[in-house]
């Protein structure tokens, strides 16, 4: 009986350590009545591939080298999270908070980052080929040697981005709503201007009308 306090303390510590490994939502965004998402431990090298982690609270965690293939992190909080060399092929990070996150050397081929907040993020040497960055916030992000070939930057905020001259933007798309840092010339960087869908429709109607007039 004298060992009961020790046993109680042991099981309390065990349950606490297990709870720390769980991943929870920061808000019940899916309205299912639960904040619990996964009992996988969020740690360096963790494999979260294929998991649905809507509104996950991963802020400030160390997930360096983590694997997130096809994971769904819609609106997740990854602010100040360490994601260096993370493998995020086709990961959905739409509307995610990645402010001040460290994504150096992260592999993000075809990742969904529409509406994501990447302000002040470290994106040096990040592989963002064909990533959807439409309406994303990249202000003050470090883009040193980042690869954004074919990325969708329509509506994105690129104001005050750092080291953009060392990034590759070849064939990345932008539109009239994309904002650029001072001195940033999208044409000189090899980017492609994409008219608004409505403008494309009007251009098509105009071209069709002109063709009919020529035939007449």
Report the distance separating Cα 74 and Cα 55, nearest Å. Answer: 6
Mark the ranges of the chain whose per-residue pLDDT is less than 50: 1, 4-19
Report the distance separating Cα 116 and Cα 173, nearest Å. Answer: 17
Beta-bridged to residue 162, according to DSSP, are 142
- pLDDT of res. 178: 97
Q: Are 54 and 26 in contact (CB under 8 A)?
A: no
- pLDDT of res. 6: 44
pTM of this structure: 0.82
Report the distance separating Cα 105 and Cα 123, nearest Å. Answer: 7
- pLDDT of res. 45: 97
- pLDDT of res. 13: 39
Residue 46 CA to chain centroid, in angstroms?
18
Report the distance separating Cα 79 and Cα 101, nearest Å. Answer: 5
* Helix spans in the chain (H): 4-21, 197-215
Tokens of 44: 């360096």
Go through the domains of the chain in sequence order and give each one's CATH number: 24-216 (2.160.20.80)
Helix (H, G, I), strand (E, B) or coil at 57: strand
13-34: per-residue pLDDT in tens?
Answer: 333 333 456 899 999 999 999 9
């Amino acid at each position: 009986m004298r060992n009961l306090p020790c046993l109680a303390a042991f099981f309390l510590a065990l349950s606490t350590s297990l709870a720390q490994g769980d991943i929870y939502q920061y808000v019940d965004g899916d309205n299912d009545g639960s904040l619990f998402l996964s009992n996988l431990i969020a740690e360096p090298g963790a494999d979260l591939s294929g998991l649905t982690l809507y509104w996950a609270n991963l802020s400030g965690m160390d997930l360096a080298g983590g694997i997130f293939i096809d994971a769904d992190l819609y609106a997740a909080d990854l602010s100040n999270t360490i994601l260096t060399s993370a493998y995020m092929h086709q990961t959905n990070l739409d509307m995610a908070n990645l402010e001040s996150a460290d994504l150096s050397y992260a592999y993000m081929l075809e990742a969904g980052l529409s509406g994501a907040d990447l302000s002040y993020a470290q994106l040096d040497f990040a592989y963002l080929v064909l990533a959807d960055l439409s309406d994303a916030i990249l202000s003050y992000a470090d883009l040193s040697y980042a690869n954004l070939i074919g990325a969708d930057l329509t509506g994105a905020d690129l104001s005050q981005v750092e080291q953009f001259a060392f990034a590759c933007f070849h064939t990345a798309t932008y539109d009239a709503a994309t904002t650029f840092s001072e001195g940033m010339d999208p044409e000189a960087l090899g980017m492609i201007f994409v008219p608004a869908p409505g403008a494309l429709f009007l251009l098509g109607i105009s071209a069709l009308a002109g063709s009919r007039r020529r035939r007449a």
